[in-house]
């Protein structure tokens, strides 16, 4: 079973305030579990969110003299 994290723990993992994961939950942008009145986020959902929002750097062209036609 996947470890369930509190909103505070998710905020610490993401390096944000608790407001950000709460907004993700409200906008249904991350998977969450209701345990009674408590909200928990599976660790796998946090990893998937980070992976889905990771932007890879673009390769830069080598600089040098360009031929002018």
Query: What is the arithmetic mean of pLDDT over 1-14?
Result: 96
**Per residue in 14-51, pLDDT tens?**
999 999 999 999 999 999 999 999 999 999 999 999 99
Residue 25 lies in a domain: yes
Provide the whole-model pTM: 0.78
Residue 16 lies in a domain: yes
Number of compact structural domains in the chain: 1
Residue 58 lies in a domain: no
Give Cα separations from 3 to 24, 26, 55, 61, 69 (angstroms): 19, 21, 26, 43, 61
Residue 59 lies in a domain: no
> What pLDDT, on the 0 to 100 scale, is given for residue 1?
79
Residue 65 lies in a domain: no
């Amino acid at each position: 079973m996947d470890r369930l994290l509190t909103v505070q723990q998710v905020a610490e993992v993401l390096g944000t305030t608790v407001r950000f994961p709460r907004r993700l939950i409200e906008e249904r942008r991350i998977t969450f579990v209701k345990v009674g009145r408590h909200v928990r986020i599976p660790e796998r959902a946090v990893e998937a969110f980070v992976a889905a929002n990771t932007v890879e750097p673009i390769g830069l062209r080598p600089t040098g003299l360009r031929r002018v036609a």
